């Protein structure tokens, strides 16, 4: 793990391998360890940078709402420090929301996009209200109720039934998240803009990945992104839920590896 001071924060990150850069952004309420299997697989051929977004893992917690744009600027500031100009940008769920914000702000920095278990739309009023309730609960009761509320939806039924080590890993990641960081991100996600209008303007080669049983950002959202982003490729991982990279690492890595190998230098 390394740390860098940017934009008034300490950002923790891992930086593995050498070659063309791939930057992977974790979802909510996780941390960079979400990408352990992808970093291990890709580091043989690529430079893989996995940051803890502000408020998560070992990065600084900021109390104000952590907007997707702020997180995107943090990531670009980190990459500036690392002298990485162009990169493949991947994000899972909230990481995908940050990827959209980053693409809108810095399209020329992005060689290609990987959108995993995410969606372009903003929140409904109901979802926004739910986020505020969850943010308050995190601040008053800690992460346990958040883990209890989210876990059933984060993983596919088969993962819950047959892969206790994945369930435990996701639960531990959630419980290790600073409650104030989670609350800031919930409030930031509630403020995020609808990115649907960006999709037809995306010219970066794009891979969309989704668990066939993702209950949070279901395959219909992935299909929408495939349809609206020119030339996008869609990979549906049967039997996986919202954490498709953890639930189906080999399939996920194969799709990602093939996509990366086919990119123009
Ligand atoms: C995530 O996995 O990042 C979150 O479930 C996304 C969300 O709450 O919208």
Which pLDDT score is estimated for 76?
98
Instruction: Report the C-alpha gap between 94 and 24 in whole angstroms.
Output: 11
Span 109-149, pLDDT tens digits? 999 999 999 999 999 999 999 999 999 999 999 999 999 99
Q: Among 41, 44, 46, which residue's Cα sits nearest to residue 86?
A: 46
Which pLDDT score is estimated for 264?
80
Span 228-243, pLDDT tens digits? 999 999 999 999 999 9
Q: What is the CATH number of the domain that holds 87?
A: 3.40.50.1820
Which pLDDT score is estimated for 6?
98
pLDDT over 90 percentage in the chain? 99
- The pLDDT-based confidence of 265 (bands split at 50, 70, 90) is confident
Q: Cβ(199)–Cβ(232) under 8 Å?
A: no
Q: Among 109, 110, 126, 97, which residue's Cα sits nearest to residue 196?
A: 97
Q: Among 200, 205, 212, which residue's Cα sits nearest to residue 259?
A: 205
Span 181-199, pLDDT tens digits? 999 999 999 999 999 999 9
- The pLDDT-based confidence of 59 (bands split at 50, 70, 90) is very high
> What is the number of structural domains in the chain?
1
Ligand 1 pocket member 166 (CB < 6 A): no
- Residue 67 reports pLDDT greater than 80: yes
Helix (H, G, I), strand (E, B) or coil at 39: helix
Ligand 1 pocket member 93 (CB < 6 A): yes
For 15-27, what is the mean pLDDT? 98
- Residue 35 reports pLDDT greater than 90: yes
| DSSP letters spanning 21-38 | EEEEE--TT--GGGGHHH
Query: Given the CA of residue 118, which atom of ligand 1 is nearest to it?
Result: 6
Instruction: Report the C-alpha gap between 92 and 95 in whole angstroms.
Output: 5
Ligand 1 pocket member 28 (CB < 6 A): yes
Edge-to-edge order in the sheet of strand 47-51: 2-6, 9-16, 47-51, 21-25, 87-92, 110-116, 206-211, 233-237
For 185, the domain range is: 2-261
Q: Among 156, 142, 181, which residue's Cα sits nearest to residue 64?
A: 181
Neighbours of 80 (CB within 10 A): 13
Ligand 1 pocket member 216 (CB < 6 A): yes
For all residues of the chain together, what is the average pLDDT? Answer: 98
CB proximity list for 96: less than 8 A, separation 6 or greater:
25, 27, 115, 116, 117, 118, 119, 217
């Amino acid at each position: 793990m390394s740390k860098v001071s940017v934009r008034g924060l300490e950002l923790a990150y891992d930086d593995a391998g050498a070659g063309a850069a791939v930057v992977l952004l974790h979802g909510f309420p996780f941390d960079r360890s979400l990408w352990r299997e992808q970093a291990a697989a890709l580091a043989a051929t690529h430079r893989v940078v996995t940051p803890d977004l502000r408020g998560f893992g070992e990065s600084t917690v900021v109390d104000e709402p952590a907007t997707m744009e702020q997180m995107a600027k943090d990531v670009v500031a980190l990459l500036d420090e690392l002298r990485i100009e162009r990169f493949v940008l991947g994000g899972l769920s909230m990481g995908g929301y940050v990827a959209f914000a980053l693409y809108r702000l810095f399209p020329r920095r992005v060689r290609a996009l990987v959108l995993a278990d995410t969606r372009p739309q903003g929140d409904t009023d109901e979802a926004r209200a739910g986020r505020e309730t969850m943010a308050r609960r995190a601040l008053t009761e800690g992460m346990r109720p958040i883990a209890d509320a989210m876990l059933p939806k984060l993983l596919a039924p088969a993962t819950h039934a047959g892969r206790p080590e994945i369930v435990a890993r996701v639960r531990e990641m959630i419980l290790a998240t600073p409650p104030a960081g989670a609350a800031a991100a919930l409030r930031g996600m509630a403020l995020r803009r609808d990115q649907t209008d960006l999709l037809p303007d995306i010219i970066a080669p794009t891979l969309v990945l989704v668990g066939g049983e993702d209950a949070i950002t279901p395959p219909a959202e992935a299909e929408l992104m495939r349809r609206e982003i020119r030339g996008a490729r869609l990979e549906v991982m049967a039997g996986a839920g919202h954490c498709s990279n953890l639930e189906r690492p080999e399939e996920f890595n194969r799709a990602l590896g093939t996509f990366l190998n086919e990119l123009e230098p």
